[in-house]
Amino acid sequence: MDLVLASQSPRRRALLEQFGLPFRVQVLPVEEAQSGRPLETAQANAVAKARPVSLQNPNALVLGADTIVVLDGQILGKPKDADDAVDMLTALSGREHEVTTVVALMINGQDADIFSETTKVQFRQLTAADIAGYVATGEPFDKAGAYGIQGLGGLLVQSIKGCYYNVVGLPVPRLVERLRPFGFEVFPSR
C-alpha cells in the first residue's frame, strides 16, 4: 500500500524522511476552517486535506494533518504580518500553551484512523529585544503561533511536556504505531 502525504509542509516531509517512511506527496487546494472549537477545527482541516487526495488515489493510505497552537482556548494561526507575530509572541511569553496535531488517515475517501496528539509548551519570559530579533529573522511568518521549535524559535521555549515531533508538526512516534495495521514498519523484522 502506498502512503500519500496530503500536505505542503516541508517539516512534515522532513519528519517522514527522517524516520524512513516511504511516501509521496499530493496536495489539492482546500479551504481550511478558521473558527470553531480548536480540536474540531484541526480535525476538520486534517480531513479536508486528506479526503480529496484519497479519492484520487484508490487503495492508497492518505495522511492529512493539521497542527494548531492554542492559548487560552484560542487558536493562534500564522501571523499576518510582523506586528501580528509580535503580538502572538508577546502573548506566549512566560506562559504555557498547547500544540495539537490531528492526523487523518484515509483510504478511498473513508476514514481509516483519526487521532490527535497534544503537547504543552512553556515559553521562557521574552524581552522585547528577543521578540523583535526573532521576528526580524522571518522565521515566524509561516508557522502557527509565530514560532518554529525546530529552528531559532526553539530558543524561546523553556520546556515541553509531551511529544517534541508533535510541536514540529507531526507526532511521528504515535503515527508509526497507527501505521502498523496498514503494513508500514520503521523497524521491519527480518
Which set of grid coordinates corresponds to residue 38? Answer: 480548536
Q: What is the 3-state secondary structure (H, E, C) of 84-106?
A: HHHHHHHHHCCCEEEEEEEEEEE
CA distance 77 to 12: 17
| Contacts (Cβ under 8 Å, ≥6 apart) of 51 | 64, 104, 106, 109
DSSP annotation of 81: S
Residue pLDDT, tens place only, 100-135:
999 999 999 999 999 999 999 999 999 999 999 999
* Other CB atoms within 10 Å distance of the CB of residue 128: 10
Q: What is the mean pLDDT of the chain?
A: 95
CA distance 59 to 35: 32
Percent of the chain with pLDDT over 90: 92
pLDDT at 186: 83
Residue type at position 12: R
- Taking phi first (over 0 means left), then psi (-120 to 50 degrees means alpha), and beta for anything else, what does residue 16 get? alpha
pTM: 0.93
Residue pLDDT, tens place only, 41-69:
999 999 999 999 999 999 999 999 999 99
87 is catalytic: no
Confidence of residue 96 (pLDDT cuts 50, 70, 90): very high
The three-point CA angle 167-48-173 to 5° equals 30
Class of domain 3-182: alpha beta
CA distance 25 to 121: 29
Which residue is catalytic, options 2, 66, 83, 142? 66
Q: H or E stretch including 48?
A: helix 38-56
Which set of grid coordinates corresponds to residue 163? Answer: 511529544
- First-to-last alpha carbon distance for the chain, in angstroms, is 20
CA distance 148 to 135: 11
Residue pLDDT, tens place only, 11-51:
999 999 999 999 999 999 998 887 779 999 999 999 999 99
